[in-house]
Structure 1
Amino acid sequence: MHPLWVTLSQLGDSRWLLPLSLVLIVFGPAESRALRLRWAVGLAVAGGLTLASKLAFLGWGIGWARLDFTGFSGHATMTAAVYPVALYLATHGRLRHPMLWALLGSILAAAIAYSRLPLNAHSVSEVVSGWLLGTAASAFALSSHRGKWRTPLPILATSLAIGIALPLLMPTVRTHDIVMRIATGLSGREQVFNRHHFVR
Structure 2
Amino acid sequence: MSDVWRTLSTLGDSRWLLPMALVLLFTLPPTDRALKFRWLIAIVLTATVTLVSKLAFMGWGVGIKSLHFTGFSGHAAMSSVVYPVVGAILAGPNRAHRRIGLAAGCALAAAIAWSRIPLHAHSLSEIVAGLTLGLACGAWAMRITPPSGRPRAIVVLAAMVAGVILPLSLPDIHTHQLVIALAKFVSGRVEIFEHF
- How does the TM-score come out when normalised to structure 1? 0.93
Q: In the alignment, is residue 12 of structure 1 matched against residue 16 of structure 2?
A: no
Q: What are the Cα deviations for residues 170-200 of structure 1, in whole angstroms up to 9, with x where unaligned?
A: 10010000000000011111011011xx2xx
- The whole-number CA distance in structure 2 between the counterparts of 1:45 and 1:79 is 14
- The whole-number CA distance in structure 2 between the counterparts of 1:13 and 1:43 is 14
Query: Is the 1:42–1:138 Cα contact (8 Å) retained in structure 2?
Result: yes
Structure 1 position 93, deviation (Å)? 4.2
Structure 1 equivalent of residue 54 of structure 2 = 54
Distance 1:114 1:154, change over 3 A: same
Structure 1 position 96, deviation (Å)? 5.6
Structure 2 equivalent of residue 133 of structure 1 = 133
What amino acid does structure 2 have at the position aligned with 1:56? A
What amino acid does structure 2 have at the position aligned with 1:60? W
Q: What are the Cα deviations for residues 24-83 of structure 1, in whole angstroms up to 9, with x where unaligned?
A: 112211121111111111111111000000000001111110110000000000000100
CA RMSD of aligned residues (A): 1.5
Query: Is the 1:31–1:149 Cα contact (8 Å) retained in structure 2?
Result: no
Q: In the alignment, is residue 123 of structure 1 matched against residue 110 of structure 2?
A: no
- The whole-number CA distance in structure 1 between the counterparts of 2:147 and 2:160 is 24
Moved more, 160-169 or 68-77: 160-169
Distance 1:173 1:95, change over 3 A: farther
Where 1:63 maps in the other structure, the secondary structure is coil
Q: What are the Cα deviations for residues 76-127 of structure 1, in whole angstroms up to 9, with x where unaligned?
A: 0000010011121122148961221111110110011001001100000000
What amino acid does structure 1 have at the position aligned with 2:126? E
- The whole-number CA distance in structure 2 between the counterparts of 1:174 and 1:32 is 33
What amino acid does structure 2 have at the position aligned with 1:76? A
Structure 1 equivalent of residue 104 of structure 2 = 104
Instruction: List gaps (5 residues or longer) in structure 2.
Output: none
Distance 1:50 1:193, change over 3 A: same
Percent of paired sites with the same residue: 44
What amino acid does structure 2 have at the position aligned with 1:129? A
Structure 1 position 156, deviation (Å)? 1.6
Query: Is the 2:90–2:101 Cα contact (8 Å) retained in structure 1?
Result: no
Moved more, 180-189 or 147-156: 147-156
Equivalences for residues 64-103 of structure 1 within 5 A: 64-93=64-93, 97-103=97-103
Instruction: List gaps (5 residues or longer) in structure 1.
Output: none
**Pairs aligned (count):** 196
- How does the TM-score come out when normalised to structure 2? 0.95
Distance 1:31 1:150, change over 3 A: farther
Runs of 4+ with deviation above 3 angstroms: 93-96
Structure 1 equivalent of residue 42 of structure 2 = 42
Distance 1:120 1:143, change over 3 A: same
